[in-house]
Each structure stands twice: as structure tokens, then as C-alpha cells.
Amino acid sequence: MGETWWSDLAAALALVLVLEGITPFLNPAGLRDSLRMVLEMDDKTLRLIGLFSMLSGLGLLYMVR
């Protein structure tokens, strides 16, 4: 079980890095604009976005697994 868990974690991290790299590679100017908008958001909005993202990820993981 231990080896599979680490292998799955490494695969998930690798996939996150690939997905996170797509936007700056394909559209760096768009990424800069998006980051400017994020900098202007208040903490409550960012926390709600983070919560929604985590819950969506957990739901998707539950459905896949």
C-alpha cells in the first residue's frame, strides 16, 4: 500500500505541474492580467474561491476513485 500511495501522490503532483504550466506557456499576457485581478480581490473572495476549488477537487476525486 505504501508504494502505491507515494506513486499516486507523485503522479498527481506531476499532473498539477503540467496543468499549471499550460497557461503561462500558451498565454503569458493573459496570465499576468489574471494575476492582477487576483491581487485586487479581497481575502474573503479568495478564500471562497479556494474553498470551492478544494470541494470541487474532493468531489471529483470521490467520483473517480
C-alpha cell belonging to residue 42:
479581497
Q: Where is 14: in which H helix or E strand?
A: helix 2-26
- Single-letter amino acid code for the residue at 50: G
What is the rounded distance in angstroms from the CA atom of residue 33 to the CA atom of residue 40?
A: 11
User: For 35-63, what is each residue's pLDDT tens digit?
Assistant: 999 999 999 999 999 999 999 999 998 99
Domain definitions of the chain by residue range = 2-64
pTM equals 0.74
Instruction: Give SS3 for 42.
Output: coil
Band (27; pLDDT cuts 50, 70, 90): very high
Residue at grid coordinates 496543468: 19
